[in-house]
């Protein structure tokens, strides 16, 4: 099954590990990666992904360009750092004051190494994406993503990628558990509920990949409503 066909079909089933499941707060930490796990048709409730090694290797090496421990640690840390990016606050401020967006961006962003152009491009994406998400009834207004931003997208990918790196031997189980706990703690600064998390993930994915959010919405709905889903009876993160 190709990456994209797997993505389109993953919402049809929930995969659970019956032999090596985690529960309690450890499961809550693990579920931060549930959106990405569902995209890949992976287990939701164990450190093991349930995917074969060749698929994990392809995902990690091809899509994330990770082939050793140092690269794994660097990428995983970068995913945590993204929501600490102060330039994102400037872009969101410009979005809220669209009449003066150019002045806000120019006066607060450096043009060193193309920084200004990168964040200007992000601003332009927001102008297209936010109305689309409202029209698709994924959000009701901009205020829904003002606080959460794309935290679900960043921490969600971080948690699942950490599981993959663990299975490939790039990080230990102890390091994995600590990283998942940190991801969960950081996510709670932005998202209060699992619904907010899934919406934030969809928003981040839309910023990265543009429109066509139906597949992501179906994955989110399945996670939140499917009786087999560990998120079914959970509200708060």
Q: Give the pLDDT confidence score for residue 152 in this predicted structure.
A: 98
Band (pLDDT 50/70/90 cuts) for residue 12 is low
Report domain extents, the chain. 3-80+149-225, 86-147
Judge whether residue 84 has pLDDT over 60.
yes
Average pLDDT over residues 190-207: 96
Of 103-112, 123-132, 171-180, which one has max mean pLDDT? 171-180
Q: Give the pLDDT confidence score for residue 145 in this predicted structure.
A: 92
Average pLDDT taken over every residue of the chain = 92
CA distances, 38 to each of 148, 156, 172, 227 (Å): 21, 11, 23, 15
Average pLDDT over residues 191-220: 92
Band (pLDDT 50/70/90 cuts) for residue 114 is confident
Burial of 123-136, coded b for 16+ CB within 10 Å and e otherwise, reads beebeebbeebeee
Judge whether residue 65 has pLDDT over 80.
yes
| C-alpha span between 199 and 219 (Å, rounded) | 11
Band (pLDDT 50/70/90 cuts) for residue 111 is confident
Band (pLDDT 50/70/90 cuts) for residue 7 is very low
Average pLDDT over residues 178-185: 98
What is the pTM (predicted TM-score) of this model? 0.91
Backbone angles phi, psi at 83, to 5 degrees: -80, -5
Band (pLDDT 50/70/90 cuts) for residue 6 is very low
Q: Give the pLDDT confidence score for residue 1 in this predicted structure.
A: 41
Average pLDDT over residues 195-222: 92
Q: Give the pLDDT confidence score for residue 2 in this predicted structure.
A: 45
Band (pLDDT 50/70/90 cuts) for residue 211 is low
- Which tokens in the block code for residue 174? 């102890």
Q: Is-contact 155 183, C-beta < 8 A?
A: yes
- Residue 15 zone, left/alpha/beta (φ > 0; ψ -120 to 50; rest): beta
Closest CA to 124 of 98, 146, 103, 147: 98
């Amino acid at each position: 099954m190709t990456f994209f066909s797997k993505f389109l079909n993953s919402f049809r089933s929930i995969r659970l590990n019956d032999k090596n499941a985690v529960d309690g707060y450890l499961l809550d930490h693990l579920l931060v990666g549930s959106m990405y796990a569902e995209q890949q048709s992976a287990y939701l409730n164990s450190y093991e992904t349930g995917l074969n090694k060749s698929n994990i290797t392809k995902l990690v090496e091809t899509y994330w360009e990770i082939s050793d421990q140092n690269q794994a640690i660097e990428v995983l840390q970068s995913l945590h750092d993204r929501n600490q990016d102060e330039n994102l606050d400037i872009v969101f401020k410009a979005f809220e004051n669209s009449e003066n967006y150019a002045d806000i961006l120019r006066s607060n962003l450096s043009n060193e190494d193309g920084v200004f152009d990168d964040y200007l491009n992000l601003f332009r994406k927001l102008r297209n994406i936010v109305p689309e998400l409202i029209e698709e009834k994924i959000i009701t207004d901009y205020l829904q993503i003002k606080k959460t931003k794309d935290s679900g997208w960043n921490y969600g990918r971080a948690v699942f990628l950490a599981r993959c790196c663990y299975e490939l031997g790039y990080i230990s189980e102890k390091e994995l558990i600590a990283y998942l706990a940190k991801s969960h703690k950081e996510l709670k600064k932005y998202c209060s509920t699992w619904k907010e998390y899934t919406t934030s993930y969809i928003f981040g994915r839309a910023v990265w990949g543009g429109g066509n959010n139906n597949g992501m919405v179906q994955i989110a709905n399945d996670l939140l409503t499917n009786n087999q889903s560990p998120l079914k009876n959970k509200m708060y993160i």
